[in-house]
Amino acid sequence: MEKQLRVMVVGAHPDDCDFNYGGIALQYAALGHKVKFLSLCNGCYGHHVMTPKETAARRYLETQEAAKVAGIEYDVWDVDDCTLEANLENRKRLIRDIREFQPDILFSHRPNDYHADHRNAAVLVQDASYLLIVPGFCPETPAMRKMPTILYCWDRFQQPPFQVDVVVGIDSVIDKKFEMMHCHESQVYEWLPYSHCKEHTVPQDKSKRLEWLHGKRIDREAAPDDNYILTTVAQNHSEEDEAWLASNYRKELIERYGEAGRHIHFAEAFGGCEYGTLLTKESIPELFPF
């Protein structure tokens, strides 16, 4: 390793980071780079049975289990779901957190994502970007000398459509990514199936659940039809993303990995933000060293 990278992922809810960046987080961590996930909301409304307090407590524990699987750090702010605001207080709080971690690369949602918390998380990251290097603002936490490179995680939203700059194959870590998602039990086996009216498909036998989660993704490896984007636009956290990305961005995978790119089954995709230190052709291999 030429240089240890510091990689920070800012998600809105305690599973967004895992779903969107679990594959690259595992690859960074395996190479000895330092990864931190930060969820700005506590996940309290992500359940249909438990109280918000019970849900937030359980979801925090789930983040810590996922962090153990990946060998990363995972923080959660004490902000209730659906209440995250891109206000001055949160801007300062995020600036302090980012400055303390000193990331080289920072990932978050796009500001035209479907959930208000995702949009506000994105705006908070954008608002923080330049201020990270302004010493007079939040002077109690020393300013960074250089802004991190900021990237958005892939999403399906079309107004405007996603601009992809980096597509990473994650086949070598897909099983471990399932293990990370498996830790978010209240989500992947309870709330998300319930919210899609699919709760009856989840095995009651807990020992069969990881296999079910795995099978559900493998089954959907085939490229979806042209209506895919439109018909699924409202469903974030979908199970087929990694397989669909590998099919849809085959050309980019071949450019990155040569012939091996033809045989990649699962991928994650990212697009550079115009704020922060710009992503360039030269910086991509340094920032994505796998």
Residues lying near Zn ion in the complex (CB under 5 A) are found at 12-13, 16
Q: Say if residues 270 and 153 touch (Cβ distance below 8 Å).
A: yes
Residue 13 vs 182, nearer CB to Zn ion: 13
Cα 2-69-241 angle, rounded to 5 deg: 85
Q: Which of 188, 187, 178, 236 is nearest to 211 (CA)?
A: 178
Q: Given the structure tokens 């230190």, which residue do they identify?
A: 277
Among all residues, whose Cβ is closest to Zn ion?
13
Min CB(43)–Zn ion separation in Å: 9
Beta bridge partners of 176: none
**Residue 16 or 179 with smaller CB distance to Zn ion:** 16
| Residue whose CB is less far from Zn ion, 84 or 144 | 84
What the block records as the tokens of 134 is 């302004």
* CB 127, CB 108: distance < 8 Å: no
Question: Of 23 and 46, which has the nearer Cβ to Zn ion?
Answer: 46
Q: Are 169 and 264 in contact (CB under 8 A)?
A: yes
Give the side-chain half-sphere CA count within 13 A for 130: 3
Minimum distance from residue 110 beta carbon to Zn ion (Å) = 13
Q: Closest separation between CB of residue 142 and Zn ion, Å? A: 31
- Strands in 166-169's sheet, in edge-to-edge order, are 73-76, 34-39, 6-11, 105-108, 149-153, 267-276, 166-169
Phi, psi of 268 (to 5 degrees): -125, 150
Residue number with CB closer to Zn ion (13 or 33): 13
Partnered with residue 253 across adjacent β-strands are none
CB of 238 to Zn ion, least distance (A): 12
Three-class secondary structure of residue 110 per DSSP: coil
Measured from the CB of residue 186, what is the shortest distance to Zn ion in angstroms?
14
Residue with Cβ nearer Zn ion (116 or 133): 116
CB 112, min distance to Zn ion, A: 14
Closer to Zn ion by CB, 10 or 170: give it: 10
* Smallest distance, Zn ion to C-beta of residue 113, A: 8
> What are the residues facing 75 on neighbouring strands?
38
